[in-house]
């Protein structure tokens, strides 16, 4: 029987987002632009925006390594962009979902800039025919 992921996010304040390339880390594992298929900012009603990061296969393998905990229990794993903490993943089992939702952006504009810097490109279109 496969263990299902169980986690929640503990947000931290993101003070500024740089438009330059950003280094995403989960625990001690660093993700490159090649590990990220897409990253986009999403507005939330009555809450700060979130950043949805979709990982490629290589990024997914890194996420599983970053969230594998020896000895079990619940362990907080920090998520950072460059040196700024975004949130912590409270993990009880390795995360095996290719979509990672990050909190910590102060507004939609900074979330959009941060998403672009994590992916190294603009978000993919929502639909094939969209320009």
Residue 48, domain CATH: 3.30.1360.200
Does any domain span residue 57?
Answer: yes
Compute the half-sphere exposure of residue 54: CA atoms within 13 Å on the CB side of its CA.
8
Does any domain span residue 14?
Answer: yes
Does any domain span residue 4?
Answer: no
Residue 102 confidence (pLDDT) above 70: yes
Residue 14's pLDDT is 38
Does any domain span residue 3?
Answer: no
Count of Cβ atoms closer than 10 Å to residue 67 Cβ: 21
Does any domain span residue 26?
Answer: yes
Q: b or e along 29-55 (b: 16 or more beta carbons within 10 Å of the residue's beta carbon)?
A: bebebebbbbbbbeeeeeebbbbbbbb
Most confident of 59-68, 69-78, 83-92: 59-68
pLDDT digits (tens, 9 = 90+) for 11-31: 433 333 334 668 899 999 999
Considering only residues 38 and 96, tell me which one the structure prediction assigns the higher pLDDT. Answer: 38
CA 76, CA 4: separation in Å to the nearest integer? 17
Does any domain span residue 21?
Answer: yes
By residue range, what is the domain housing residue 14? 9-119
Number of domains in the chain: 1
């Amino acid at each position: 029987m496969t263990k299902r992921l169980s986690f929640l996010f503990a947000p931290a304040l993101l003070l500024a987002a740089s438009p330059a390339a950003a280094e995403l880390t989960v625990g001690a594992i660093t993700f490159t632009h090649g590990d990220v298929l897409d990253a986009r900012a999403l507005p939330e009603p009555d809450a700060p925006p979130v950043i949805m990061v979709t990982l490629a296969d290589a990024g997914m393998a890194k996420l599983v390594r970053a969230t594998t905990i020896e000895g079990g229990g619940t362990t907080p794993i920090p998520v950072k962009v460059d040196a700024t903490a975004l949130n912590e993943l409270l993990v009880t089992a390795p995360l095996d979902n290719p979509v990672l939702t990050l909190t910590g952006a102060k507004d939609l504009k900074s979330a959009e800039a941060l998403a672009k810097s994590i992916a190294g490109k603009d978000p993919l279109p929502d639909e094939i025919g969209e320009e």
